[in-house]
Copies of this chain bind each other. A is one copy, B any other.
């Protein structure tokens, strides 16, 4: 640590931790489930809370920017003339069902002691309210100590990340000039292994689709029609079963166009991280990797494309039984994309696969969202990557690594595509944070050292 500005900021962060946790709790209590229209008002309240909070950093301006969906929160501040960083996070959260699997009210967060240390438990604790607040708290400490931000900063928070970001591209397009910066910092990712600081440099892309398979024109009684009737549940199962071959490879024609093997050098770096694959699988109750034969669990997750069924339903789903042959069956699916896979071409390929398998008297209705995001691979030769890597290495006392991510951070693709801006993905989440699941948590240590990490990165990038 050769930067004199830094030590008092880090001390301030340590001292302020209890207050910082309290602020996060307040933020977590707001039920900002963006995908459910019932929570529209709550989602806006989260935006208002956040705008008000960053206003306290002495910004030139900070406020809500309306969109056809949930509002963006945008703020600008700090001295001109040097580096200009944009920080991105999202203030919306995933739905909480199934509620009965939560051990506490998802929106009544608390610090809980666990055998791995204290955690902050609640929906959004990790994804992404806890993570985005690490950056905000680092800035708050910096301003408290030095009276101003270390460089020009643009804060940009979204409220639709968990519901497909429909307003994001139009907003970026309409505010192209205002949102320009040297590089975007995105805090919505995790560490590759416990204590291993990580910068994700490649992300899988995403394609979402949904279909209804229509069969009989009304629900039928299985006594009167069982036998002759087309059963949509049976047909949709046959289609879903046909999506993969017996080696776990996706059997949709043309699916692997644009997919390349991981370069040997990068693969060696990944293998050196020391990721415990059996612990990773075991955490989910699995003893083996169930993806494409011939690839490690890590490569299946980081660098291979997938076609997953996320929801399926039809017929009677209540208590007891009902002798019904339903008129329709439903399926929601997502694909994770890698390399040069083209979302539009893949959507056509998946739809053609389904349509080629429809029996007589059946029809399909597509309801999927129209946009998809290609995979993103970032330019790690930029100086910001070197600076951030060194800063993280100092804070965590362990070489920071360039990793990949199985998840998608579509915003990184959009920043590049619309603003011509590269992104650095630095986050402190753990594999066991249960994001998108019941009992989501964020380690108190991650919140604390994440905040300290950002202070170091701000120092490094504002030199």
Contact = CB atoms under 8 A, between A and B. Distances in A.
Interface in A197-255: 204, 206, 208, 210, 215-231, 233-234, 236-238, 240-244
A417 interface: no
A437 interface: yes
B313 A314 contact: yes
A313 B321 contact: no
A312 B237 contact: yes
B322 A94 contact: yes
A385 to B, nearest CB: 22
Contact of A437 (B210, B219, B368): B219
Q: How many copies does the complex hold?
A: 2
Identify the interface centre among A37, A315, A369: most chain B CB within 10 Å of its CB.
A315
A279 to B, nearest CB: 13
Contacts of A99: none
Contacts of A244: 234
Nearest to A361: B286
Given A290-B230, A297-B228, A437-B219, A310 B336 contact: no
A288 B361 contact: yes
A323 B310 contact: yes
Given A222-B308, A224-B431, A309-B315, 5 more contacts: A218-B437, A227-B406, A237-B240, A311-B322, A321-B332
Interface of A: 35-37, 94-95, 97, 101, 163-164, 204, 206, 208, 210, 215-231, 233-234, 236-238, 240-244, 280-281, 284-292, 297, 300-301, 304, 306, 308-326, 329-330, 332, 334, 336, 359-361, 368-369, 405-408, 431, 434-438
8 nearest A-B pairs in the assembled complex, by CB-CB distance: A223-B407, A217-B285, A227-B300, A311-B315, A237-B240, A241-B241, A227-B291, A233-B309
